[in-house]
Structure 1
């Protein structure tokens, strides 16, 4: 099993040999929340796609700043008939490297073939190879905002219309999953004259500092296996608290959880202990968020699912619940070829302070942390009650990270103002927009910040029972739930309706 995991990870990190400080942090999987699609296609039918570059403005909102940089994109005209003049499909890049595989695989490719669409994928500024500045210093990161990213997209669309001599009434349809799912809806909202429709998958539209409902959904999703699983997790976490109070218990925790640093060294360090609890909670969060999807490189992609971890948690032959928690942790460490569990707070902060493009944090960890500290929050805290993962990682723990990494001004008041500003700018869950479909899965904890019920028929919601993060975007598989198959058909029909307008 470990060998198959390593093969998947090799595929997932084709572009870099650098691994993230942690595999899953702030609700983000290393590499970005939208993984690479598995290929269910014939290799002979795949069009060869090349890396391309677009000259982009550094600051779209300062006309006196003429600084430019090169932004990476991909295109595929395999299904496009220039005589028809469109439509054009645009996949929006997000908090990770753009993947060339998405240009030939995935549900949106099937839609492009159906409608004869020209296809583009634009990598998000500051991620992948799209480097607008010399480094990732806090001063340079001021150009990393969702507003600048949307302006990148608008500028790109205008340029491609001209390059391909597309007619004035050409219809662009945007696609995005996770943070790009939000961007897709916001692009239609802010630039309706350029974008005719949007498919927003698993997009959190509401900026929120204390995203305590995240672990509420994690708990509910684990309960789809059994209440015994939920109970065992909570008992295991409680037992960690008991062991931390005893010298022999601390030694047992070191061995059970394969801790990189002896917990005795951190017993009086609240930040380390908070990080330990959050890391153990994230073991389950990462599995739940990607449960039974079709991406390459995630735990679910290697069949580490809710059922797998819950089967461990209810297996009394392994020992008391804390031993079962440790077993889940061991399975995930092995899956990612990690020798030990690193929970040292200062080590994490120092890693995320590194401003070099050659650093581990430049994979996206530093950039995404900055975006959460300046626009979105999205902190998956232990503030929900009753909390099965303990109460050790409150919202203050995450705000402290912002100040420790980027500076003292990024405090609670700053974050509250930042999220309020984001919701004012985009509308939060009260966004008024047409020709957008909001798609969410019941297992995915991010649905708690999204639109899951249709309020306006011109912007319907599709809520898929039993599916996880961005599940509808991946290539169809025989194992797909009937409701997932139906959702893809609904999206296809909606796109057809928009294009007929």
Structure 2
């Protein structure tokens, strides 16, 4: 499944970097601290506690200023978001408004580990509702500790944390004064077939022939992968790290999904200014995809798609080959309950949340998209295989999420919803204003969380205007009681 969050470590290959940048002031930009949280906020008889990581910077704070809270998501918090150079959008707002800036890590991700391991039994304490209660306690405790009880707190987040930002304002309006919910998927759904429909439209906006060529390529791949005699050639064509092995329908769906994600992730982060996060494939864009897919010298569309996968793997991800696994091999990795396991950085935890709360399964069930072979059943069965979660339980969990938060019909005030037209996740977000106090900013031609990243000269004018619009809303809302 294409990665959701800004902080998802599986999205990009990242360089290890501990950021204690200085601005010539002789002091660290941010401080790393910890706060004690309850394991279960909804069971008064459970007294167990754990330590949650957060970082803060007082660089821009002026007495009486607001408090900005950046919410962590399905991965370790990335210090790039609170470092000063380059300056991400929320820090630009903080400098202008004199805000204290805090960034808090989500329970069960990064170094914030409520339990000793990631067993299914322990993961029952991983939910958005528990995470929101963490935020409420965090806000209350830090405000008391630092004399900020009367300060106005603004929640920020992008992607899943964007939804948490909106929901924190919805559920705790006495604690959170306003929220900026960027690229927030507020509607939970099991079958998120719209994701690939947006991918189709995004490719077509670059070149109307592009998604048709991708579809032809994938149709050919699906046909060839049925015959074991083609496995050696497919291995060579896509520069797989090991010989292709298909022993089940799930193996077939798994490799098709993995190869499709080369284009899915490229579209999702198209032209986002993500280099400051130490992401490696920052220059791989929709233009790159469609350029390769239109190059007849590479052969028919199948060979062009294979060429794109090789290009992205070697040139942008700096990998010697495309890592392929069988479904069962990946399943064993996902079943590893250690934080240091192959998916302990966030993959196992986020898969659990999709199976219990959100779904978000990016299926090929729609006819209006370029891929095939990884339909809804494949995704639903992963929940059973990984966590023994039945389809009935899965659907009930998704219904409960929408019932709890309101889906598209959120009833709150002072929340802004920025979304990009190219971002496939906008299909689950709010793209039209609900009211003056629940405005949507739909940014044509931009991708996932584009408004959150540091500004640059080549930004589209509408992206620059969107960032300014958000600032004006913050100015207005911070004047309100």
> TM (normalized to structure 1)?
0.89
**Aligned ranges 1:389-404 → 2 under 5 Å:** 389-390=371-372, 392-404=373-385
Instruction: Give the superposition deviation at 1:198.
Output: 0.2
**1:59 & 1:42 partners in 2: Cα distance?**
38
> How far does the alpha carbon of each residue in 1:221-265 deviate from its partner, in whole angstroms, 9 at most, with x for none?
1111112211110111111133234455333212101234434x4
- Answering whether residue 314 of structure 2 is matched by residue 323 of structure 1, we say no
Do the aligned residues in 2 keep the contact of 1:33 with 1:95 (CA within 8 Å)?
Answer: no
**2:220 & 2:197 partners in 1: Cα distance?**
21
1:223 alignment partner, SS class? helix
Task: Give the match for residue 81 of structure 1.
Answer: 62
- Answering whether residue 35 of structure 2 is matched by residue 57 of structure 1, we say no
- Answering whether residue 338 of structure 2 is matched by residue 356 of structure 1, we say yes
**2:475 & 2:147 partners in 1: Cα distance?**
23
Do the aligned residues in 2 keep the contact of 1:32 with 1:94 (CA within 8 Å)?
Answer: no
Instruction: Give the superposition deviation at 1:386.
Output: 3.1
**1:107 & 1:272 partners in 2: Cα distance?**
42
1:214 alignment partner, SS class? helix
Instruction: Give the superposition deviation at 1:496.
Output: 0.4
**1:302 to 1:396, Cα distance in 2 relative to 1, 3 A:** same
- Answering whether residue 76 of structure 2 is matched by residue 97 of structure 1, we say yes
- Answering whether residue 474 of structure 2 is matched by residue 495 of structure 1, we say yes
Do the aligned residues in 1 keep the contact of 2:29 with 2:59 (CA within 8 Å)?
Answer: no
2:230 alignment partner, SS class? helix
Task: Give the match for residue 179 of structure 2.
Answer: 198
Task: Give the match for residue 478 of structure 1.
Answer: 457
Task: Give the match for residue 154 of structure 2.
Answer: 173
**Aligned ranges 1:32-431 → 2 under 5 Å:** 43-44=23-24, 47-82=28-63, 84=64, 86-103=65-82, 104=84, 105-168=87-150, 170-246=151-227, 248-263=229-244, 265-266=245-246, 268-296=247-275, 301-334=281-314, 335-336=316-317, 337-390=319-372, 392-407=373-388, 410-431=389-410
Instruction: Give the superposition deviation at 1:494.
Output: 0.2
> How far does the alpha carbon of each residue in 1:64-89 deviate from its partner, in whole angstroms, 9 at most, with x for none?
1111111000111112123x2x3111
Instruction: Give the superposition deviation at 1:34.
Output: 10
Do the aligned residues in 1 keep the contact of 2:274 with 2:282 (CA within 8 Å)?
Answer: no
Instruction: Give the superposition deviation at 1:331.
Output: 1.6
Do the aligned residues in 2 keep the contact of 1:290 with 1:298 (CA within 8 Å)?
Answer: no
RMSD between aligned alpha carbons?
A: 2.2
2:205 alignment partner, SS class? coil
1:428 alignment partner, SS class? coil
Instruction: Give the superposition deviation at 1:33.
Output: 6.6
The answer for unaligned runs of 5 or more in structure 1 is 1-23
Instruction: Give the superposition deviation at 1:398.
Output: 0.7
Instruction: Give the superposition deviation at 1:27.
Output: 4.5
**1:115 & 1:35 partners in 2: Cα distance?**
34
Do the aligned residues in 1 keep the contact of 2:22 with 2:28 (CA within 8 Å)?
Answer: no
> How far does the alpha carbon of each residue in 1:365-412 deviate from its partner, in whole angstroms, 9 at most, with x for none?
00000000000000000011133212x1111101111111111xx121
Do the aligned residues in 1 keep the contact of 2:199 with 2:267 (CA within 8 Å)?
Answer: yes
> TM (normalized to structure 2)?
0.93
Do the aligned residues in 2 keep the contact of 1:33 with 1:178 (CA within 8 Å)?
Answer: no
2:209 alignment partner, SS class? helix
Do the aligned residues in 1 keep the contact of 2:13 with 2:279 (CA within 8 Å)?
Answer: no
Which stretch shifts more, 335-344 or 133-142?
335-344
> How far does the alpha carbon of each residue in 1:163-196 deviate from its partner, in whole angstroms, 9 at most, with x for none?
111253x210110000000000000000000000
Instruction: Give the superposition deviation at 1:325.
Output: 0.9
**1:485 & 1:32 partners in 2: Cα distance?**
29
1:430 alignment partner, SS class? coil
Task: Give the match for residue 8 of structure 1.
Answer: none
**1:152 & 1:220 partners in 2: Cα distance?**
39
> How far does the alpha carbon of each residue in 1:84-114 deviate from its partner, in whole angstroms, 9 at most, with x for none?
2x31110001111112221233110011111
**1:67 & 1:35 partners in 2: Cα distance?**
35
**2:290 & 2:369 partners in 1: Cα distance?**
17
